[in-house]
Amino acid sequence: MNYRQLETFRAVMLSGSASRAAELLDITQPAVSRTIAELEKGVGFVLFERIKGRLVPTPEAQMLLNEVEKSFVGLDRIRAEAARIRDFGAGSLRIASLAALGATLVPRAIYKFHQKQPEIAVNLQIHASSVVRELVSTGGFDIGLAADEVDLTGLEHQAFASVRAVCALPPGHALASKSAISPKDLNGVRFIALAPEDRARRRLDAILQAEGVVPKIIAETPSSGTLCALALSGVGIGITNPAAAEGFAIRGLEFRPFEPAVYFKSILLFRPDSQKTRLVKSFVAELMRARSAE
């Protein structure tokens, strides 16, 4: 007994005749009859009565079909999974992201991705950029989104986004009357700063130092989202990534452009020594579309 014999037997049972089974399998009708005869010899009992040139299943054939169907259900699943792997790689996707994008842009990309690939499970974790880098570099995650301060040594990577910073102001703050915030506006002002290793903060610090401006730093956080929450609570003002500011304006937080421009830059990271699967490429395309829609 072999797979070809069982496949032919199943085709005859489901189609009702040797000729239709031959069409389904793209073989000749004599080949079908020969294969059925070989199977009958192998199992040791008659599967079909030959009545007026037709193959009529015996009760034993129906019993055997029930068992064969169980095997073919498993094979059909294997074929479907193989097709998914062929088209999209493994059946799951692991993404690590910095908070500024992981709470806003990435979920929108996942939603669009799932509309096209509903069978693919996505594991999204939010971490500091340094942790994102570690998760991707060790091969535990397929895609990482990190700020540009991370070490890129040994990682495949590409630039993702560069967005202009905005100034977050508590409701009713005196500076809210201005159309744009300048470095001199920050001198001596209660200020919420990003972490010292943040490249955007370093770019801002260089501007302030050149202008001789010294804000009064009273809070420090690595997260732009937390910075917005602190500003909304009246702790102070801060320069933040607008990607993390979603939902704060409706709660009363004010935003103004900061001039000269300071940019938050993010990078896509990929597992080292690993070709990008079609699944990864498909999700990256959704990320790019979500970025363009911002």
Phi and psi for 11 in degrees, rounded to 5?
A: -65, -40
* 3-class DSSP assignment, residue 173: coil
**Positive or negative: CA dihedral 105, 107, 110, 115:** negative
pLDDT at res. 66: 87
Quick one: pLDDT at residue 31? Answer: 93
Instruction: Measure the CA–CA gap between 204 and 217, rounded to whole angstroms.
Output: 13
> What's the rounded Cα separation, in Å, for the pair 216 and 193?
10
Q: Looking up tokens 């073919």, which residue turns up?
A: 72
Helices 278-293 & 105-116, crossing angle to 10 degrees? 130
pLDDT of residue 278: 81
CB 232 within 8 A of CB 253: yes
The predicted pLDDT at position 294 comes to 73
The whole-number pLDDT of residue 274 equals 63
Q: Provide the pLDDT for residue 2.
A: 86
Structural contact between residues 244 and 105, judged by C-beta atoms closer than 8 angstroms: no
**CA nearest to 48, candidates 21, 15, 9:** 9
DSSP character for 232?
Answer: H
For residues 237 and 170, the answer to whether their CB atoms sit within 8 Å is yes
- Residue 203 confidence (pLDDT): 96
- In this prediction, residue 16 carries a pLDDT of 87
Count CB-CB contacts under 10 A for residue 208. Answer: 17
138 contacts 154 by C-beta, under 8 angstroms: no
> With a cut of 70, which residues of the chain have pLDDT below it?
77, 80-81, 83-91, 273-275
CB 130 within 8 A of CB 250: no
- If you search the block for the tokens 């610090």, which residue do you land on? 205
